[in-house]
């Protein structure tokens, strides 16, 4: 099949994915500032990050399957309206519980970038699929990491509420551009929404490669979330640095995220099993470095680069595997994978906060190592039953 995806549209989807998904992560460098505003503990304020990720998981589950049934432009129109309202509500919150509710809605509606990933796969030919997925994922991951830099700086200089106001305005502008430039896709699925949702179980039950990729992704993102949720507390505790310095670590993570395009191309040339093992090894090494670096900025920087590169290797390869078939259900297959992915991230956020509160950075690092080793164990036990 000849690719119908132009570079301009591909990079628009990549940039859009980064800008929207950034809404999920603005809060992480701001957690300390928010805890001071509402006079709550670090463990309590971590619920802002937790509910944002849970909201994202629910958005993936209930919104993204609609990409196989409803026009992408119609989905965007409703979703962006709710997203903008939720961002303004977060900025205006005068109690932690209101911010938590708003954060859930922000996470729910920020799932839209996951429509772009299967869309890129759909519009690409087989040879270019890995590259297209890699480019969209590069934008998405740069948005994840860059959001921490931006929110950390703005939060410290102007207050955390300004971050949410700015994000709301940015989403309004982005919607106008997407409405104008993004190709309109009209799916052919005709059955009811309930039948569509029931089919998720069918694909999960009948696709061992999808189940394994989902478990690998959940564990990997759980390990990554453990780090990013607790880094702000470590920086305050060990170095006395605020949110702006913590956010700068996102710049180093971008080095790993930029490997997405390279890894996407390698998916057509190198064994997917080798790429997955490479990613797992990098994550284990990174957590070993974190363990011995609670007072070393250089060690933390090296670890950030390695953990994001390792995560990227796993994530891109997982998605290339699950998109290689079931062309009529790519949004549903992506839903299964990404729901698992962000449930893992939510668990990592919660467990990381508990580990920090009771065992400090050593407990956080041991938790990260355990999750990374678990990826290796499940992969080595079950990968022979799937086609890599």
Sorting pLDDT into bands at 50, 70 and 90, what band is 254? confident
Question: How is residue 237 annotated by DSSP?
Answer: I
Q: What is the pLDDT of residue 387?
A: 54
Confidence at residue 267, expressed as pLDDT on a 0 to 100 scale: 65
Give the global pTM. 0.78
Ranking 165-169, 187-191, 224-228 by mean pLDDT, the lowest is 187-191
Q: Is the dihedral of CA 216, 72, 324, 113 positive or negative?
A: negative
Per-residue pLDDT at 83 = 97
- What average pLDDT does range 105-131 have in this prediction? 83
Mapped onto helix, strand or coil, the DSSP state of residue 144 is helix
Q: For position 238, what pLDDT does the model report?
A: 87
pLDDT of the residue at 1 = 44
Please, what is the Cα angle at 6 between 128 and 270, to 5 degrees?
15
Q: What is the mean pLDDT of residues 287-291?
A: 97
CB 98: neighbour CB atoms within 10 A? 14
Q: How sure is the predictor about 82, in pLDDT bands with cuts at 50, 70 and 90?
A: very high
The pLDDT of residue 244 is: 67
Chain centre distance of CA 120: 17
pLDDT for the residue numbered 165: 97
- Share the mean pLDDT of the chain: 87
Task: Give yes or no for residue 45 having a pLDDT over 50.
Answer: yes
pLDDT at 211: 94
Mean predicted confidence (pLDDT) in 318-342: 85
Do residues 143 and 20 touch, judged by C-beta distance below 8 A? yes
**pLDDT tens digits, one per residue of 123-161:** 877 777 777 877 887 788 788 778 878 888 898 899 999
pLDDT at 385: 65
Distance CA 52, CA 342 (A): 10
* pLDDT of res. 268: 66
More confident residue, 124 or 348: 348
Give the three-state DSSP class for 295: coil
∠ CA 384-385-386, nearest 5°, is 90
Q: Which domains, and CATH codes, for the chain?
A: 14-181+204-385 (1.20.1250.20)
């Amino acid at each position: 099949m000849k690719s119908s995806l132009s570079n301009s549209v591909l990079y628009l989807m990549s940039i859009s994915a980064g800008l929207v998904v950034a809404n999920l992560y603005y809060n992480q460098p701001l957690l300390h500032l928010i805890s001071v505003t509402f006079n709550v503990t670090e463990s309590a304020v971590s619920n802002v990050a937790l509910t944002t990720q849970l909201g994202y998981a629910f958005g993936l589950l209930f919104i993204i399957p609609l990409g196989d049934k409803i026009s992408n432009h119609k989905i965007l129109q409703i979703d962006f309206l709710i997203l903008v309202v939720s961002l303004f509500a977060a900025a205006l919150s005068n109690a932690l519980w209101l911010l938590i509710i708003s954060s859930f809605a922000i996470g729910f509606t920020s799932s839209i970038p996951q429509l772009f990933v299967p869309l890129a796969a759909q519009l690409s030919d087989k040879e270019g699929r890995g590259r297209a997925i890699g480019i969209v994922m590069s934008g998405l991951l740069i948005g994840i990491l860059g959001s921490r830099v931006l929110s950390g700086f703005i939060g410290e200089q102007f207050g955390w509420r300004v971050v949410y106001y700015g994000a709301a305005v940015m989403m309004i502008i982005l919607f106008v551009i997407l409405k104008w430039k993004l190709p309109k896709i009209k799916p052919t699925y005709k059955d009811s929404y309930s039948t569509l949702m029931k089919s998720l179980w069918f694909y999960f039950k009948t696709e061992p490669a999808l189940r394994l990729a989902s478990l690998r992704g959940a564990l990997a993102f759980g390990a990554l979330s453990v780090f990013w949720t607790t880094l702000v507390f470590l920086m305050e505790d060990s170095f006395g640095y605020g949110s702006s310095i913590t956010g700068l670590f996102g710049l180093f993570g971008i080095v790993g995220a930029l490997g997405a395009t390279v890894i996407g191309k390698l998916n057509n040339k190198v064994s997917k099993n080798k790429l997955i093992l490479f990613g797992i090894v990098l994550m284990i090494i990174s957590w070993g470095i974190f363990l011995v670096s609670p007072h070393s900025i250089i060690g933390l920087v090296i670890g950030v680069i390695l953990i994001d590169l390792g995560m990227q290797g796993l994530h891109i390869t997982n998605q290339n595997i699950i998109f290689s078939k079931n062309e009529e259900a790519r949004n549903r297959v992506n839903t299964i994978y990404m729901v698992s992915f962000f449930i893992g991230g939510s668990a990592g956020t919660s467990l990381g906060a508990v580990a920090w509160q009771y065992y400090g950075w050593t407990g956080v690092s041991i938790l990260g190592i355990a999750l990374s080793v678990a990826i290796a164990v499940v992969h080595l036990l079950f990968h022979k039953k799937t086609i890599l």
